[in-house]
Chains A and B, each alone.
Chain A
Amino acid sequence: MGTYFEKENLDLLKAQFDTAEYDPEQAEPAIYIGKNQLLDMMKVLRENPTYSFDRMANLTAVDYKEYFEMVYSLYSRRFDKWVTVKVKLEHDNPEVESMTQIWEGTNFEERETYDLMGITFLHHPDLRRILMPDNYEAHPLRKDFVPLEPRIEGGVLTWHKQKSMS
């Protein structure tokens, strides 16, 4: 693995964005950023030639029950550097800016996160379910997920909340 983003640079980012913070105790600390400044900071990370994180290596979300956390792992091919960016989202109606505005290749991954975790990506070109059926109404990767019951109604496969889960 390449090296992790230096703490000096993290401090620079922190100075630039007031919602950015990180845990200096950790060896490889993730930057936490407020969701309103996420897009701007990502643009800086991508476009600033001293950072040039040109690759969105991984994009996913974690359900921590009280809140969601978006996790972005960025990689710079030029400097062989890593950085992890995290955004906390409220549990009700989680929304975040779509990264397709900067990395077009996150299209499918965001659709997957939307599908399985139920996070809405703003300004996404084509936000539809990608793995689950189109008429499925739950998000399987959430911790409070209860599988829906398949039923055929009028020749169409439909999904219903289970009645008893005792």
Chain B
Amino acid sequence: MAQTEKYVLNMGPQHPSTHGVLQVQVELDGEKIVGAKPVMGYLHRGIEKLMESRTYAQCVPYTDRLDYVSAMNNNLGFCMAVEKLAAIEVPERAEYIRVICAELNRIASHHVFIGSLTNDLGSATGMIYAFRDREKILDLFNIICGARMTAHYIRIGGVAADAQEEFLRGAQEFIDYVPAMLDEYDRIFTGNEIFQARMQGTSIITRETALKHGMSGPNIRASGVDYDIRKIDKYGAYGKFDFEIPVGKQGDNWDRYIVRLKEIQQSANIIQQALDNMPEGPVMAKVPKVLRPPKGDAYHRVENTRGELGFYIVSDGSTKPYRVHIRRPSFVNLQALDGMCQGMLLADAVTAFATIDPLMGEVDC
């Protein structure tokens, strides 16, 4: 009997497919993975600390840099937490625009997911197709706020400026394009035999494990848990729209992919409803120039593209937050990585990184 020895392969922080600067120490037995230990902190900028020395309005741009592929959702989470703390009512039109932007950004973020997943599976072609379509959304953001990724569009009390006719028309055009886009994805990769073989039945997260690790977002929904904060909390204008929560069956890589594909469809559905019922009116509440929320604390969560994004803000009555804590979904989700990789092959580890979809800006914060 040949003697074999386990060895540790250090993947990252400089590796083509670790999604930024994630470092994973993979313990291998041949090509089989025994364990995978994520090592984080390469992108730690101390955003929580930085926020303590900024006024509330100045904190918003920092949230752009958390999950930088879905900046709008982060803006939304932080602003809603501050609004909760300071009891600010947001005008209805602003709520609708917020939903449109957040959902567009969710689609854009899922494009990045699809792109990086297909790239990690060895098909660079898929990536380009996904990024081509993401570009359309980024262009829309460019119209509405002048920035493509770090939007800083959703502000405390509303949105920075009213949505232009051009933006609304562009959003409508994009929504009309979504079915054709999804159909194309189906033909390029979803229907591909190799793609399916690589994804189906690999890196399973069971329902119990997902709940145990406190996972959220598409990752927990793929494991069959019907948990979407948009639906549960009905924050903002989400209570007014009718949409479904796609849920997976067994929680393998394939389910995590399919759930996100279906989410794109549902997001498009939400945007369509928001565009159709868009009310008129102001887009900014009366917020004092110098915002001093009353003493106290508030925790508010929103459904980020990666899951439950929570902001815990403590106010001491001054213009700056006393303490901000950000509950980052990717950070919590990463705990499942070890279990997902065990018993899989090296190639599956890469798929697992991709489908759990961590974003290092958010993980390291």
Query: Which residues of A are at the interface with B, using a C-beta cutoff of 8 A?
Result: 1-2, 54-58, 60, 62-63, 71, 73, 77, 80, 84, 103-109, 112, 116, 129-133, 140-141, 145
Contacts and interface: CB of A to CB of B under 8 A. Distances in A.
B299 A58 contact: yes
B335 A131 contact: no
Given A84-B299, A130-B40, A131-B364, A105 B335 contact: yes
Interface string B10-50: 00000000000000000000000000000011001010110
Contact of A1 (B233, B322, B323): B233
Contacts of B327: 57-58, 60, 109
A132 B44 CA distance: 8
Interface in B316-365: 322-323, 325, 327, 331-332, 334-335, 364-365
A56 B310 CA distance: 12
Interface string B273-309: 0000000000000000000000001011100000010
B48 A71 contact: no
Contact of B49 (A77, A133, A141): A141
Contact of B299 (A2, A57, A80, A132): A57
A105 B323 contact: no
A55 B48 contact: no
B325 A104 contact: no
B211 to A, nearest CB: 7
Nearest to B235: A1
Contacts of B322: 62
A56 B365 CA distance: 20
B159 interface: no
Interface residues of B, number: 33
B297 A71 contact: yes
A56 B214 contact: yes
Nearest to B300: A1
B48 A2 contact: no
Contacts of B300: 1
A73 B325 CA distance: 12
Given A116-B48, A140-B49, A109 B332 contact: yes
A60 B331 CA distance: 14
Contacts of B312: 58, 60, 71, 73
Nearest to B325: A60
B214 A103 contact: yes
B228 to A, nearest CB: 11
A68 to B, nearest CB: 11
B232 interface: yes
Nearest to A26: B296
A77 B227 contact: yes
Given A58-B327, A105-B212, A132 B335 contact: no
A106 B214 contact: yes
B48 A141 contact: yes
- The list of the 3 closest CB pairs from A to B, nearest first, reads A105-B214, A60-B325, A131-B41
